[in-house]
Structure 1
Amino acid sequence: MLPRSFYIAAIVLLFCALVLSILSSISLPTFPALDFVRISYSNTPRSKDFLSQLRFGIWGLCEYDGTGKRSCQFTGHGYGILLRDFNQETTAFIGPSWTRGLAIHPVATAVTGIAFGFACSKHEHGPFITAVSSAVAAFLMTLAFIVDIALYAFVKEQLDKLPHPGTTTPSSAFWMTFVSLILVIAAGGSVFYARRKDVGSEYPTFSSGTGGFLSRFRKN
Structure 2
Amino acid sequence: MSRIFCIPGIIFLLCAFVLSFLTSISLPYLTALDITRVHFGNAGTAGTLDQGVTELRVSAQCKLLGVWAYCSYDVNDSRTCSKAGHGYNVGIGSVVDKNTSVIIGSSWTRGLAVHPVATAITFVALLLSFSQHITVTLVSSIVSFFAALLTLIAFAIDIALFVYVRHQVKKINGIDPNTNAGPGFWLTLVTFILLLLAGGTVCFGRRKDRLSGATTTTYTTSEKKPFWSRFKRKN
Q: Decide: shared fold, TM above 0.5.
A: yes
Q: 1:30-49 counterparts in 2 under 5 A?
A: 30-44=29-43, 49=58
Q: Judge which range, 128-137 or 196-205, deviates more.
A: 196-205
What root-mean-square deviation, in Å, do the aligned CA atoms of Structure 1 and Structure 2 show?
2.4
- SS of residue matched to 2:16: helix
Paired with 2:40 and 2:25, the residues of 1 have a C-alpha distance of: 26
Match of 2:87 among 78, 92, 101: 78
Q: Judge which range, 118-127 or 18-27, deviates more.
A: 118-127
* 2:177 equivalent to 1:166: yes
Match of 1:59 among 45, 51, 68: 68
Q: CA deviation at 1:198?
A: 1.1
Q: CA deviation at 1:144?
A: 0.3
Contact in 2 for aligned 1:206/1:212 (Cα 8 Å): no
Q: CA deviation at 1:205?
A: 2.1
Q: CA deviation at 1:218?
A: 6.5
Contact in 1 for aligned 2:43/2:94 (Cα 8 Å): no
- The equivalent residue for 2:162 is 152
Q: CA deviation at 1:125?
A: 2.8
Q: Judge which range, 144-153 or 74-83, deviates more.
A: 74-83
Deviations 1:131-173 (A, max 9, x none): 1100110100000000000000000010111123411100010
Residue 66 of structure 1 aligns with an amino acid whose one-letter code is: V
* Structure 1 gap segments, 5+ residues each: none
- SS of residue matched to 1:210: coil
Deviations 1:178-207 (A, max 9, x none): 000000000000001101111122212237
Paired with 1:61 and 1:5, the residues of 2 have a C-alpha distance of: 44
Q: CA deviation at 1:217?
A: 2.3
Match of 2:151 among 141, 145, 148: 141
Could you say if the C-alpha distance between residues 210 and 29 of structure 1 is closer, same or farther in structure 2, counting changes exceeding 3 Å? same
Q: CA deviation at 1:219?
A: 6.2
Runs of 4+ in 1 over 3 A off after TM superposition: 121-124, 212-216
Contact in 2 for aligned 1:10/1:119 (Cα 8 Å): yes
Could you say if the C-alpha distance between residues 216 and 144 of structure 1 is closer, same or farther in structure 2, counting changes exceeding 3 Å? farther
- The equivalent residue for 1:181 is 192
Percent identity between matched residues is 39
Paired with 2:95 and 2:142, the residues of 1 have a C-alpha distance of: 51
Deviations 1:14-52 (A, max 9, x none): 00000000000000100111100000112549xx95211
Who wins on radius of gyration, i.e. which is larger? 2
Match of 2:139 among 129, 133, 138: 129
Residue 211 of structure 2 aligns with an amino acid whose one-letter code is: G
Q: 1:84-95 counterparts in 2 under 5 A?
A: 84-87=93-96, 88-95=98-105
The TM-score, its normalising length taken from structure 2, stands at 0.85
- SS of residue matched to 2:31: coil
Match of 1:104 among 114, 134, 154: 114
Paired with 2:11 and 2:105, the residues of 1 have a C-alpha distance of: 39
- SS of residue matched to 2:64: strand
How many pairs does the alignment contain?
217
The TM-score, its normalising length taken from structure 1, stands at 0.90
Could you say if the C-alpha distance between residues 36 and 216 of structure 1 is closer, same or farther in structure 2, counting changes exceeding 3 Å? farther
Paired with 1:138 and 1:212, the residues of 2 have a C-alpha distance of: 52
Paired with 2:42 and 2:94, the residues of 1 have a C-alpha distance of: 13
